[in-house]
């Protein structure tokens, strides 16, 4: 079972049925119209160049400057986040 915060219900049928319908449709298309299926497959397999985006994301960020300047605020945020996660895991394990 998945971890669901705050008692939300997990109903994956809204995504499972459309995915199964799409897979079924692609199977029918591959069977009865292989040329159209090949066209869709070629359009779906285009190369996306991510090098420029990765260069931007690969730059180092100096977080020490911010963490050390606001260490008390950071510490309180970490303690509150850890307490909240512990509470969520505890209530999940207890079955609430």
Q: Where are the domains of the chain?
A: 13-47, 62-96
- Write out pLDDT tens, residues 40-90: 888 888 888 888 888 888 888 888 888 788 889 989 999 999 999 998 888
Tokens of 1: 């079972």
Does residue 40 or residue 93 have the better pLDDT?
40
Taking residues 19-42, what's their average pLDDT? 90
- Output the CA angle 94-83-80, nearest 5 degrees: 150
């Amino acid at each position: 079972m998945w971890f669901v915060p705050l008692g939300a219900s997990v109903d994956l049928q809204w995504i499972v049925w459309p995915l199964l319908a799409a897979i079924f449709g692609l199977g029918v298309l591959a069977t009865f119209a292989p040329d159209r299926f090949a066209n869709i497959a070629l359009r779906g397999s285009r190369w996306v160049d991510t090098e420029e985006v990765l260069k931007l994301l690969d730059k180092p960020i100096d977080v020490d400057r911010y963490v050390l300047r606001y260490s008390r605020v950071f510490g309180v945020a970490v303690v509150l986040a850890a307490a909240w996660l512990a509470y969520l895991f505890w209530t999940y394990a207890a079955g609430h």
